Structure 1
Amino acid sequence: MRLGLIGFGNIAVTLLGQLAETIDAPLECLTVLCLPEFAGETTARLAGEFAGVATEVAVVTEAPALLSHRPQLVIECAGHMAVATHVPTVLRASVDVVVVSIGALSDESLEKELRLAAADGRAHLILPAGAVGGIDLLAALGAAGGLEVRYRGSKPPLAWSGTPAEAAIDLGALTEAEIFFTGTAREAARQFPKNANVAATLALAGAGFEATHVELVADPAAPGNVHEYSVVSPLAKYSMRIENLPSAGNAKTSVSTVYSVLREIRNRIGPVAI
């Protein structure tokens, strides 16, 4: 496979580590798109830590340069700005893209642009399940309409550092769980872009951004990043609770998110997709 990565942060590095351990043979080509100021460091790490992942490796700083290496699949894991800056170009070039920063689609104009770009390029905009399960069932039920979806995301207080939660509550002084945000999935994804991708995923798979109710919680007793949601539809009712361990390099990210992306790649490489 010829694989492209947009971003070389915690998710990309963890993903490459998992690829090195699970694929039977090196990738034919790995191309990493990063910011110019990180190009030297990225090149060095790829040559050192990840020397065996791919036969051919390249580091670029613009989408056209990424496309010049003919990727068959591109993984975006660099944040909302990277989605807007690079993903439409890649989709229009007829290359499928897995978007990890799903919350970026809370911007209605960007969501429309991405859908049009995918249609123009006859490519697929792939939205992985990430840290949450049951997305297949939710998407299936969504076709019947009439969905009611409620989501509650709980993380240890310090996992909410650097977000608007700091202005709402004293994260360092909490002794019990406290809800600091209640609203729609669109509001959650916009206010907490690094923490609310699950809310956006549920919204896109199910009832939409405005009809998906969200609560965000800082909980000193949380065993990790906890995602709970309930679904009521004319066809079925179900609820789910997932206790995810945080990624070793970023407490805001559930490590299962990386494995969700790994699944997308392995489904492309292997003879069976599941």
Structure 2
Amino acid sequence: MNIGIIGAGAIANVMLGRINHDAHENLKVNSVLVRDMEKYQHLEREFGIQLYTDLDDFLASDIDIVVEAANVEVAKSVLPQVLREKDAMLISVGALADGETVAQLMQIAKTNDTALHLPSGAIGGLDLLQNAQSHGELESVKLTTRKPAAALTYERIEAEKAVFEGKAADAIQHFPKNMNVAVILAMAGIGMERTQVILIADPRTDKNTHHIEVKGVFGKASFTIENDPLPENQNTSYLAAISILGTLERMNRNFIIGG
């Protein structure tokens, strides 16, 4: 599978290293779309890729799928055109926080027979939510996220403090850069309006921790993920980065587990 990446930040560099540098058996990054050609010229030499600054030229290159690894604003601006021509994987899932965007992208994908893939990112257990929700047997989903205080508030605090408590739809509006997990959880489960979120600023931690509680006709489930950051970029979750690679690898398999 030939891959095109939008963006050249931490996640793009992890992909280039794990796929091209390590000579992945079934995957190869061929093209990368950037804003500044000169700044990222070294990537061409280091990883054997072609840089582009024009979206049309990028989409016309030898790629089967586009991985968006930029930011919410870029994702919103380019995804409609990308999905008219290619399958895509969205990393900045905050772009799907409003129903209008979701409906638009779903229609474009359906009309053009393309697909938008959303990797699990910094959490797991999404197969459980999707399986329960597909039969309407999911009753409640609650996410409690704990992050270093400096990531959530400018206020100097000595003890942990809940900076938000309410539905996912409101959490995303108030903390757009910190609620990717809430978006993917809500989309896999019972939606933005019914998914409950508690966001805690904790001055005593240097990790992001997500605790998820699920109830339904099937029973109850809970799981906790404590994320270490990428060594290359302390602002990016290690699990979020490798979930992209795992999703791409599973798309190429003939033997599929779960889902």
What is the TM-score with the length of structure 2 in the denominator? 0.91
- Whether the aligned pair in 2 keeps the contact of 1:195 and 1:252 (CA below 8 Å) is no
Aligned partner (choices 172, 179, 190) of residue 173 of structure 2: 190
Match of 1:54 in 2: none
Q: What is the CA-CA distance between 1:220 and the residue it aligns to?
A: 2.5
Task: Note the C-alpha offset of 1:203.
Answer: 0.3
Identity %: 32
**Paired positions, count:** 255
Shift of the 25–110 alpha-carbon distance from structure 1 to 2, 3 Å rule, reads closer
- Give the partner amino acid of 1:23: H
Q: Distance in 2 between matches of 1:179 and 1:264?
A: 33
Q: Can you list the C-alpha shifts for 1:241-272, whole angstroms capped at 9, x where unaligned?
A: 00110223444431110100001222234554
**Structure 1 contact 148–211 (Cα < 8 Å) conserved:** yes
Shift of 1:224: 1.2
| Correspondence for 2:17 | 17
Which stretch of structure 1 is more off in the superposition, 181-190 or 224-233?
181-190
Counterpart among 151, 158, 179 of residue 159 in structure 1? 151
The change in CA–CA distance for 1:13 and 1:191 in structure 2 (over 3 A counts) is farther
* Cα gap change, 1:255 to 1:108, in 2 (>3 Å): same
- CA displacement 1:206-235 (0-9 Å, x = unmatched): 010011111111113335110111011122
Aligned partners of 1:131 and 1:256 also within 8 Å: yes
Q: What SS is found at the alignment partner of 1:218?
A: strand
Aligned residue runs from structure 1 range 76-95, under 5 A: 76-93=68-85, 95=86
**Displacement after TM superposition at 1:31 (Å):** 0.8
Matched, 1:141 2:132: yes
CA-to-aligned-CA distance 1:181-218 (integer Å, 9 cap, x gap): 12221222233232210000000000100111111111
Which position in structure 1 is the counterpart of 2:3? 3
The change in CA–CA distance for 1:22 and 1:154 in structure 2 (over 3 A counts) is farther
Q: Which residue of 34, 37, 40 maps to 2:38? A: 40
CA distance in 2, matches of 1:267, 1:23: 13
In structure 2, what is the Cα distance between the partners aligned to 1:181 and 1:26?
41
1:226 aligns to what SS in structure 2? strand
- The residue correspondences of 1:28-177 to structure 2 (distance < 5 A) are 30-35=30-35, 38-48=36-46, 50-51=47-48, 57-93=49-85, 95-145=86-136, 146-160=138-152, 165-166=153-154, 170=155, 173-177=156-160
1:86-124 per-position Cα deviation (integer Å, ceiling 9, x unaligned)? 11111111x211101112101221111111111111111
Distance, in Å, in 2 between the alignment partners of 1:62 and 1:232 is: 47
CA distance 1:273–1:42, shift in 2 (3 Å): farther
SS at match of 1:119: helix
**1:180 paired residue among 144, 163, 177:** 163
Give the 5 Å matches for 1:193-212: 193-212=176-195
Q: Distance in 2 between matches of 1:268 and 1:118?
A: 17
Distance 1:73 1:232 in 2: 35
Letter in 2 for 1:117: I
Distance 2:79 2:162 in 1: 34
Unaligned runs of 5+ in 1: 52-56
In structure 1, the residue corresponding to 2:14 is in which secondary structure?
helix
CA distance in 2: counterparts of 1:118 and 1:70, whole angstroms: 20
Deviates more, 1:205-214 or 1:14-23: 14-23
